[in-house]
Structure 1
């Protein structure tokens, strides 16, 4: 997703307008980018885009464009002399039950102040009307209301000027107040990375993808901030050959550039050539070892602050990965007792003032940490407690509306999922697939009121439903 879209969604979600607004994030985050570039269609429903396009003329109840909740509505305020400078667009929808109803609307040229939306009953009475919220330069029209069963009409007008052609997009939906679960999983780790990509990126939406090995973790641990830097999914490949499902995903995404992280021992020259033969530009980021590879990736990102994690295990780096990405901090790998020279050189060259050391002294010793500028260590008794400490530390910087769960005993699913989580400013919670760690369970309980959609990364073998159920058991 586009960074500016997510920022706008983040501002929108922060407004004090009620729980229902927040739950519109799914469709907003996944579909709004369509309207940033889409040319208006004449009319009809586009299932791929999840959008109803107005069917003009729709200025009377009899001619109202029929729609359903849970989708975008796309239309144009077409004020001209023939309609006395006031185009009225009407959309018709029906509710079978009493529902908590939410609506948000934007215009193409930021004329939200003059956009007006009313919910009308079937007898023409006003039931609710939109109000304008503004924050940090972002405006939106929004409605939050409880609607009883019946047929309703959305009336859309824009009073900006007598002569006006202004495209607008509306998202409206009804919401319950419970959490929902969704599993993102394929037949293996490679297909799982594709399923994760498909959940976060529309067809043709990603110019860039990051490709990492699915066979071993060291070269891949620093890849998430790179993926976030380019709005890219993070896909996994076999060392010797590009899985067909991954190749097909590169085509679906419309990728024109791929970053391969790691040397040929991680991702072979044959894989690189397979990607190049697809007409895709390839840039390989690799060093002489895992530590210098992390620096090569960091050079592509830049730094004000950095994350330093052990290169000897995957859990600490993956726990911080989506948050480091969101805060544009590269992940540098270190030995336990000494900071590699390449890492120290990078820190000096970029005048880094803050270093977040992830994990305890068994991961990175105090002697090594003292060589870093502005050190703040984040650690717990084990990988799960460290993961919880990270979430607590950065809770003001993240949004737990979407929360991602991955096994803490292997890295592939959490790695691919961390790139998706970063796009939504979300955390990844590592959990024990056999028995829930008390720290993990405490974290879920602490932030449960802020969590609405839980994504389980990987299949039942990697992270069984029973492990998730333990986190929510009384």
Structure 2
């Protein structure tokens, strides 16, 4: 019988881990290669320098091209190439780079390979005479069609803009920060929108005449950057209505701005995604691809050399089987940015079938199959803590070599038996420890390693706790003040077993706190275990000899208990102000299965656990001769839990610590309803209460006081124990106060 069950379980798990689960089915369906399409094998476009990179981009995007755009590759002229992207798209031409007035060999080779006949120059740094000589020297019959470079970048931007026909929108960005212009270059090109440059002081003055000539046909205006880059005045003078036909796009930095650009233009296609380094010294690599990206309406993503989690989360649902192309070498854009070309996260969800009570993590192999892999490692995390880790075995790849969809299950209540497919890691936690991410590390046969993270958990983790309720139930969880305990008690009941059937019990008090991350504004949850009581058969045998199913465990916040054979009592890690949010109970059967339940309904008044208190209701300001009524209240709180509290007798001690006691008239209310004087001794003290004392209970006493002289009077109130002669009184509660007494206002005799 056991063998049959094991065989059924194994086959079910195998089917799960190869085909994936239904969390969610749409993800699996959308990742197939459309009929008639093949995935490009190009992961990177780069050369030894910027000129070679531009040449490779041009040859990748165009088999041949009658026209080419020549821009200066020097740092000070890069902005000219950015504003050229819309024009390059309009004439279906690649952008190639010159070294100022010189023509690099890589550019010459690209011009020959593309069979270029005409060029437009978009920088004043490129001289027509030098170009024509270079063409002649290299036996190129190319005509310089037009020189669009102006005296400065503003005039160049205007000259390029004037080449566009049928313009219905404009992009405006700062003239001196290239990253924002690069974020939008391919989009502006795809939409036939000119890129205009704003001067920090002069605004769009150099392009004002052009802007005025098209303002009636402009239906959409986009401004890239905050008001420090493109001023509020410039924004207000642009055509369009704020928030509708005129939009400002900006983020916390250039990378955040880039992401906001992508989110703004939802009509982009993601057949290809070009990823370039967004720092200034590498922008040229991404710059030269703007015309190619515009051809397919593809986005350019800026990175600091890898993709951020926010960008990955944005891109993943859009990519399908499409590819990411890095612009530049691996030191500029790391291999990690290309991870989605090789492996992608899929389902990460709650799983409750085939003997699994836990989670399932799926992945997709994009550029191969299982036969191309050496290993897979899947890890569940809660915060920075590893909950469980599964590692693949050879049988996984040998049995399903053509599989592209893989997944692995995690069982909370216990491990699976070895099946040759995975080494199943032990779950380091309970059902209440919900993973917040799954990390998948894939190693190919050629030792390439790619790691992906999935933080999108689907399903309801609370469903995993239903099985535990068949074995253990949480009962009372409340404040406890008896039998020498000042703290809490946690009760629970066994459903289908007796204590003798258990291996161990663990009861914890947990404090849960929520906060908001100042930068991301995401809610963060912190769980702190305040104390844990343990019982094991070896050390706490008395507990497992009990015959009832109702059990409970006490917790003392003022200190632990001595060993009693029932529990190993943990020390409370906190103060009385650390109130537990929940009690967590985990029982372990002798066969290794564990079940966890929790109680979040704390009963009782936690204030009772605090130190004993005495408080005064005396006003802080009085006048000479005024008689003030006030109340003194006492509360034993935690003292009530002490064994000595039942027989303790106390008095209230009043002490004047500053001020003339002769100027103070103090009275107390007797049981018969009359007030009697309470005389301060030579030390300024007096005791209130019968000589034998009274029980320390929650109570209130009434007093009157009057001051015959102005001044500052300070006093102390104490609850002290009544003890035999020769012994010192113990102070159970203490407080201080101050009264400022002023002279009564003079009477007006007029």
- For the criterion TM > 0.5, the same-fold answer is yes
Supply the distance in 2 between the matched residues of 1:259 and 1:197 (Cα, whole angstroms): 15
Q: Confirm whether residue 325 of structure 1 aligns to residue 325 of structure 2.
A: no
- What is the Cα-based RMSD across aligned positions, in Å? 2.6
Give the Å deviation of 1:453. Answer: 1.1
Mapping of 1:83-162 within 5 angstroms? 102-103=35-36
Aligned equivalent of 1:191: 52
Aligned equivalent of 1:473: 452
SS of residue in 2 equivalent to 1:430: strand
Give the Å deviation of 1:354. Answer: 2.8
User: CA 1:423/1:194 → structure 2, altered by over 3 Å: closer, same or farther?
Assistant: same
Give the Å deviation of 1:318. Answer: 0.7
Give the Å deviation of 1:451. Answer: 5.8
User: CA 1:268/1:373 → structure 2, altered by over 3 Å: closer, same or farther?
Assistant: same
Aligned equivalent of 1:427: 299
Give the Å deviation of 1:201. Answer: 0.9
Count of equivalent residues: 301
Give the Å deviation of 1:437. Answer: 4.0
User: CA 1:472/1:421 → structure 2, altered by over 3 Å: closer, same or farther?
Assistant: farther
Q: Indicate if the aligned counterparts of 1:180 and 1:454 stay in contact, CA closer than 8 A.
A: no
CA deviation string 1:332-361 (max 9, x = no partner): 111134423231111111233432101112
Supply the distance in 2 between the matched residues of 1:359 and 1:439 (Cα, whole angstroms): 20
> Out of 258, 272, 278, which is 1:387 matched to?
258
Give the Å deviation of 1:461. Answer: 3.0
Aligned equivalent of 1:458: 328
Q: Indicate if the aligned counterparts of 1:285 and 1:296 stay in contact, CA closer than 8 A.
A: yes
SS of residue in 2 equivalent to 1:196: helix
Structure with more of its chain in strand, by fraction: 2
Q: Indicate if the aligned counterparts of 1:190 and 1:214 stay in contact, CA closer than 8 A.
A: yes
User: CA 1:174/1:319 → structure 2, altered by over 3 Å: closer, same or farther?
Assistant: closer
Give the Å deviation of 1:462. Answer: 2.3
User: CA 1:405/1:267 → structure 2, altered by over 3 Å: closer, same or farther?
Assistant: farther
Aligned equivalent of 1:260: 121
Q: Indicate if the aligned counterparts of 2:274 and 2:300 stay in contact, CA closer than 8 A.
A: yes
> Which protein is bigger by CA-based radius of gyration?
2
Aligned equivalent of 2:85: 224
Tell which has more relative contact order, 1 or 2 (C-alpha 8 A, sep 6+): 1
Aligned equivalent of 1:214: 73
Give the Å deviation of 1:239. Answer: 1.1
> Out of 109, 126, 134, which is 1:274 matched to?
134
> Normalized against structure 1, the TM-score is what?
0.59
Q: Indicate if the aligned counterparts of 1:212 and 1:267 stay in contact, CA closer than 8 A.
A: no
Aligned equivalent of 2:504: none
Aligned equivalent of 1:347: 211
User: CA 1:370/1:239 → structure 2, altered by over 3 Å: closer, same or farther?
Assistant: same
Supply the distance in 1 between the matched residues of 2:199 and 2:299 (Cα, whole angstroms): 26
CA deviation string 1:158-180 (max 9, x = no partner): xxxxxxxxxxxxxxx678xxx97
Supply the distance in 2 between the matched residues of 1:239 and 1:469 (Cα, whole angstroms): 37
Give the Å deviation of 1:240. Answer: 3.3
Q: Confirm whether residue 399 of structure 1 aligns to residue 265 of structure 2.
A: no
Structure 2: state its 5+ residue gaps.
1-28, 241-245, 341-449, 454-750
SS of residue in 2 equivalent to 1:221: helix
Q: Confirm whether residue 236 of structure 1 aligns to residue 100 of structure 2.
A: no
Aligned equivalent of 2:669: none
> Out of 269, 286, 290, which is 2:153 matched to?
290
Structure with more of its chain in helix, by fraction: 1
Q: Indicate if the aligned counterparts of 1:432 and 1:467 stay in contact, CA closer than 8 A.
A: no
Q: Indicate if the aligned counterparts of 2:325 and 2:338 stay in contact, CA closer than 8 A.
A: no
Supply the distance in 2 between the matched residues of 1:240 and 1:337 (Cα, whole angstroms): 30
Supply the distance in 1 between the matched residues of 2:116 and 2:253 (Cα, whole angstroms): 39
Q: Indicate if the aligned counterparts of 2:324 and 2:338 stay in contact, CA closer than 8 A.
A: no
Q: Confirm whether residue 418 of structure 1 aligns to residue 290 of structure 2.
A: yes
